[in-house]
Amino acid sequence: MEKYEILEGIKSLVKDGVLTKKELMDTYSQAAEDKTSSLANSQSRLSAILYFVGGIIVFLGITILVGQNWTYLNNTTKIVVTLGSAIAAYIMGLLFSRYQSLNVVSQAFYFISGLIAPLGITIAFDIAGLGVHKLIIQSFMASIVFAVFITSYLLFRKEVFLIFSIIFGSWLYFAFTGHLIELSSTVHQWRTPVYQVLFANVSYLILGYYYSKEEKATLITLSHWLYGVGIFGFLTAAIILGGWKPEQSVFWELSYPLWIFATLFLSTLLKRKTLLLAGVLYLIGYIFKITSEYFAQDLGWPVSLVLVGLAIIGISYLALYLNRKYISK
């Protein structure tokens, strides 16, 4: 609609007494305020991103400093530079968090602390001669950093602690279950770690659903990440569990289309494009796998390619249809 038409419309509304001067002025003021606050929001988002980029650069600096001078630094210095920096950054974050205006800066320091803490604790344990390559020792290190960050989240409710709690919790889970797997050759089989990954990703998906119900924007962003990582991890693990002829798993090969359709259904229900994308990509991958596993030899490779190509066209249409009808709406 042209500006002239809008103004004419307003004129006629004023003449008819439908629109008052106050209503018009209020609408104008509201729109001006929204414009200012959206500008301020994008500026504060930009500065938050820069704080965290700064945090990553500090982390890289410390890692390179220790890495380049590993042979020259004595053990105390190595621990002070890494674990000491993590503790110092945590304390800085704690001090800054006392001032509302420095809230994002405090989170940037907690972020630095979260990045350096695993490196620091690994170096401290290594110097203490505890054998950091052993999974049981890694479980112990992971449980220390996990305990610190989950307690901090429960006390201060800052999302940065929650993100690191999920990362360190995953480290603890993979290290401890990895240790259990090594204990027995009965469970030390190639499928067990795939189940390990599958279980973790189901957990990410459910946590993603839980945080999608929250009102805070950072928690909703976290839920998008959890959905993304969870669905790609789950579908990858499930297709690997299917195995390959003649050692295929009938259950996982036959149930895989059900997982794909459940993913596509969830994408429409939860309105998540990530789930739709994952469902479509893995459906294509599954068709490729099944065709090359069972039909490529009988039908011949060129005919199989034609069939797969047609299937991909069909799937692409399905994806566009689902996106238009249920997700973008």
Partner 1 sequence: MINKEKIPLIIGLSIPLLMVILLAASIYLPALGAHPKTNFLYCDGDEYSRTKYVLKANKLIEQEVKYPQHYTMQQEAKLNIYDVTTGSSKKISYEQAQEMVLDGNIKSPDGFEVASDDSGGYGMFPFYYSHSNYGQKYLKKGNYSKKLEINLKSSSRSYYYDYGFNFIGWVLQGE
Q: Is 218 in the site for partner 1 (CB under 8 A)?
A: no
Three state DSSP letters for 108-119: HHHHHHHHHHHH
CB of 200 to partner 1, least distance (A): 6
Return the DSSP state at 214: -
Q: Is 240 in the site for partner 1 (CB under 8 A)?
A: yes
Identity at 324, one-letter amino acid code: R
Apex 311 CA angle, 305 and 315, nearest 5: 140
CB of 188 to partner 1, least distance (A): 5
Identity at 286, one-letter amino acid code: Y
Find tokens 């803490």 and name the residue: 117
Stretch of 31-39, 96-104, 171-179, 320-328 contacting partner 1, by CB under 8 A? 171-179
Distance between CA 208 and CA 162 in Å, rounded? 13
Binding residue for partner 1 (CB under 8 A) from 63, 97, 143, 196? 196
Distance between CA 118 and CA 146 in Å, rounded? 10
Stretch of 82-90, 170-178, 307-315, 321-329 contacting partner 1, by CB under 8 A? 170-178
Q: Is 220 in the site for partner 1 (CB under 8 A)?
A: no
42 phi/psi in degrees, rounded to 5: -70, -30
Binding residue for partner 1 (CB under 8 A) from 194, 231, 275, 319? 194
Q: Is 202 in the site for partner 1 (CB under 8 A)?
A: yes
Q: Is 206 in the site for partner 1 (CB under 8 A)?
A: yes
Q: Is 283 in the site for partner 1 (CB under 8 A)?
A: no
Distance between CA 18 and CA 10 in Å, rounded? 9
Q: Is 132 in the site for partner 1 (CB under 8 A)?
A: no
Q: Is 203 in the site for partner 1 (CB under 8 A)?
A: yes
Q: Is 237 in the site for partner 1 (CB under 8 A)?
A: yes
**Secondary structure (DSSP) of 151-212:** HHHHHH--HHHHHHHHHHHHHHHHHHHHHHHHH-TTT-STHHHHHHHHHHHHHHHHHHHHHH
Which spans of this chain sit near partner 1 (rule: CB under 8 A)?
135, 169, 173-178, 180-190, 192-197, 199-200, 202-204, 206-207, 209-210, 213, 236-237, 240
